[in-house]
């Protein structure tokens, strides 16, 4: 995500190495690079001009502490301005109204409104809200069917609609149903077009007038770049928007939409779509996103992900087992891989790491495919073999390799990696945290 922008801004810091302090001359050189990086990321030109001017003004007045280099001081200014450009803080949904609180999703076709509606329903259900989904997209019957399927996947209720019905009638019917069945929230998925047209804007304005939504959210594809700015401007003029949802930030996004859309609409970015999976929607934190863009990672989001997805009871059970001296076996090893998968797999974790660690992980021999093979090898073992890996001699290894569809050499590699992890677990049990950190290479299978 936003790799090109991250790489260009990292070069700016390196260009200031060896400089004793921030001056007009070296700031001018650095800001030329920043400007070029933002333009290449498809950030809107007015936004780039305002951003560079703000950084120049604040950098010249920046006191460089003895513990900071000029490069670090400039990064601090750029980080603060990036965060300010995308918003001051995370902006929660305002659903303080008489139920049902209506959330209206608007945007072009292909922006990801339908999947975003289901992802948002999932987040609200996690907050103990009773959610109803409805599709007012009467032009694409497949969109109605897709939303009905997704509603079932996330455990939300669905109000049926058909292509022959009027969108306003569908929405008013859904509101009445939601009120009578005590739903807290109604999420309305609206029709998109391949381009902005008068009929589309008139229809969405009529829907807004009928629904009187608590939240009107503009859903925009992060890969649109400059086009996102024009679309955002058109929707801002047609609707009283309350927020933005950026989708497809996991794709080959250059970052322009993330940095431009808030300035153009004047409303906060509330959520970001970071994966295609149904759990791939996150609350948007401007400061954390600024850290990711500058290659600092997003450790806070990673920690929150761990808290949400790690089975605390299982983790405590494993800790007690290791401390009691019973050891760490292949069943535990497999369970750790499953926990990592719950957090979006290796790719989902790497995306939130600081740039240097992320590159190290990406350059390692770890891959999602390799992790799947490791699970396959362990699944080919008997429960006794998983508990006692020392039993695995040549004949057993051949049987396991055949069952998993891999070579005996791969079985041997897995056992070697497992032994490394087992040694680390023993260090933890003895309180050897420093030793464990030195042995961290063994934590992820195949990391070199």
pLDDT bucket at 435, cuts 50 / 70 / 90: very low
* pLDDT over threshold 50, residue 297: no
Query: Domain ends where: 63, 86, 109?
Result: 86
User: Is residue 91 included in any domain, yes or no?
Assistant: no
Higher pLDDT, 374 or 353: 374
Higher pLDDT, 155 or 23: 155
* pLDDT over threshold 50, residue 357: no
Which CATH number goes with the domain that contains 78?
A: 1.20.120.140
Instruction: Output the pLDDT for position 10.
Output: 64
Higher pLDDT, 59 or 391: 391
Let me know whether 74 and 113 are in one domain. Answer: no
Which CATH number goes with the domain that contains 331?
A: 1.10.260.30
Instruction: Output the pLDDT for position 302.
Output: 47
Let me know whether 197 and 284 are in one domain. Answer: yes
Compute φ and ψ for 304, nearest 5 degrees.
-60, -40
Percent of the chain with pLDDT over 90: 17
Helices and strands per DSSP (H, E), number in the chain: 21, 8
Let me know whether 327 and 259 are in one domain. Answer: no
* pLDDT over threshold 50, residue 299: no
Let me know whether 279 and 146 are in one domain. Answer: yes
* pLDDT over threshold 60, residue 94: yes
Closest listed residue to residue 113, CA positions, set 202, 219, 11, 15? 219
Let me know whether 271 and 308 are in one domain. Answer: no
Lowest mean pLDDT: which of 63-67, 154-158, 201-205, 236-240?
63-67
Let me know whether 78 and 168 are in one domain. Answer: no
Let me know whether 235 and 352 are in one domain. Answer: no
pLDDT bucket at 419, cuts 50 / 70 / 90: confident
Instruction: Output the pLDDT for position 311.
Output: 54
Instruction: Output the pLDDT for position 177.
Output: 94
Which CATH number goes with the domain that contains 133?
A: 3.40.50.300
- Round to whole Å and give the CA distance between 381 and 145: 42
Closest listed residue to residue 279, CA positions, set 313, 251, 308, 243? 308
Instruction: Output the pLDDT for position 327.
Output: 63
Let me know whether 113 and 236 are in one domain. Answer: yes
User: Is residue 96 included in any domain, yes or no?
Assistant: no
Number of domains in the chain: 3
Query: Domain ends where: 61, 86, 111?
Result: 86
For 207-237, write each residue's pLDDT tens digit: 999 999 999 998 888 776 666 777 887 888 8
pLDDT bucket at 151, cuts 50 / 70 / 90: very high
Compute φ and ψ for 50, nearest 5 degrees.
-65, -40
Query: Domain ends where: 27, 51, 86?
Result: 86
User: Is residue 448 included in any domain, yes or no?
Assistant: no
Let me know whether 254 and 308 are in one domain. Answer: no
For residues 240 and 216, is the Cβ–Cβ distance under 8 A?
A: yes
Let me know whether 285 and 316 are in one domain. Answer: no
Percent of the chain with pLDDT over 70: 67
Residues 6+ apart with CB under 8 A from 62: 22, 73, 74, 76, 77
User: Is residue 109 included in any domain, yes or no?
Assistant: yes
DSSP-based three-state secondary structure for 416 = helix
- Round to whole Å and give the CA distance between 42 and 352: 23
Q: What tokens were used for 367? A: 């891959």
User: Is residue 377 included in any domain, yes or no?
Assistant: yes
Average pLDDT for 126-138 = 91
Let me know whether 272 and 313 are in one domain. Answer: no
Instruction: Output the pLDDT for position 221.
Output: 82
Maximum average pLDDT range among 148-157, 292-301, 308-317: 148-157
Higher pLDDT, 115 or 232: 115
CA atoms within 13 A on the CB side of 336: 17
User: Is residue 94 included in any domain, yes or no?
Assistant: no
Let me know whether 285 and 308 are in one domain. Answer: no
Instruction: Output the pLDDT for position 325.
Output: 47
Closest listed residue to residue 249, CA positions, set 283, 299, 287? 283
- Round to whole Å and give the CA distance between 264 and 87: 12
pLDDT bucket at 256, cuts 50 / 70 / 90: low
User: Is residue 43 included in any domain, yes or no?
Assistant: yes
* pLDDT over threshold 70, residue 400: yes
- Round to whole Å and give the CA distance between 183 and 186: 7
Across the chain, mean pLDDT equals 75
User: Is residue 92 included in any domain, yes or no?
Assistant: no
DSSP 197-244: -HHHHHHHHHHHHHH--SEEEEEEEGGGTHHHHHHHHHHHHHS---EE
Q: Which residue range is the domain that position 223 belongs to?
A: 101-294
Instruction: Output the pLDDT for position 25.
Output: 73
């Amino acid at each position: 995500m936003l790799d090109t922008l991250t790489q260009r801004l990292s070069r700016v810091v390196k260009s200031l190495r060896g400089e004793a302090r921030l001056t007009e001359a070296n700031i001018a050189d650095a800001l030329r690079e920043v400007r070029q990086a933002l333009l290449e990321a498809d950030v809107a030109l007015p936004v780039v001009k305002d951003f560079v001017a703000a950084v120049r003004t604040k950098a010249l007045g920046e006191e460089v502490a003895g513990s900071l280099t000029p490069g670090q001081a400039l990064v601090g200014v750029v980080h603060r301005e990036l965060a300010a450009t995308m918003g001051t803080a995370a902006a929660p949904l305002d659903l303080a109204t008489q139920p049902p609180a209506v959330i209206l999703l608007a945007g072009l076709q292909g922006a990801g409104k339908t999947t975003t509606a289901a992802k948002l329903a999932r987040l609200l259900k996690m907050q103990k809200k009773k959610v109803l989904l409805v599709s007012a997209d009467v032009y694409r019957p497949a969109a109605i069917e897709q939303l009905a399927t997704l509603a079932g996947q996330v455990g939300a209720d669905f109000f049926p609609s058909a292509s022959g019905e009027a969108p306003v009638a569908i929405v008013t019917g859904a509101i009445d149903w939601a009120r009578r069945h005590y739903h807290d929230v109604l999420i309305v998925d609206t029709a998109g077009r391949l381009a902005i047209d008068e009929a589309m804007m008139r229809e969405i304005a009529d829907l807004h007038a009928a629904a009187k939504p608590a939240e009107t959210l503009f859903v925009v594809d992060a890969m649109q770049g400059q086009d996102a700015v024009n679309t955002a401007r058109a929707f801002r003029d047609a609707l009283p928007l309350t927020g933005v949802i950026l989708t497809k930030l996991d794709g080959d996004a250059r970052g322009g939409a993330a940095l431009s859309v808030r300035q153009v609409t004047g409303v906060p970015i509330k959520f970001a779509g970071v994966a295609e999976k149904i759990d791939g929607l996150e609350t948007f934190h401007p400061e954390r996103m600024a850290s990711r863009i500058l290659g600092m990672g997003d450790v806070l989001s990673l920690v929150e992900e761990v808290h949400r997805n790690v089975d605390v009871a299982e983790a405590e059970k494993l800790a007690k087992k290791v401390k009691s001296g019973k050891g760490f076996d292949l069943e535990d090893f497999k369970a750790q891989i499953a926990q990592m998968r719950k957090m979006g797999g290796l790719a989902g974790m790497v995306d939130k790491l600081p740039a240097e660690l992320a590159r190290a992980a990406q350059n390692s021999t770890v891959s999602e495919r390799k992790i799947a093979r490791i699970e396959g090898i362990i699944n080919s073992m008997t429960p006794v073999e998983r508990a006692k890996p020392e039993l695995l001699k040549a004949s057993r290894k051949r049987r396991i390799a055949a069952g998993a569809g891999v070579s005996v050499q791969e079985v041997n590699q897995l056992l070697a990696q497992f032994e490394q992890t087992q040694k680390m677990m023993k260090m933890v049990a003895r309180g050897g945290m420093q030793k464990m950190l030195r042995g961290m290479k063994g934590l992820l299978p195949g990391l070199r």
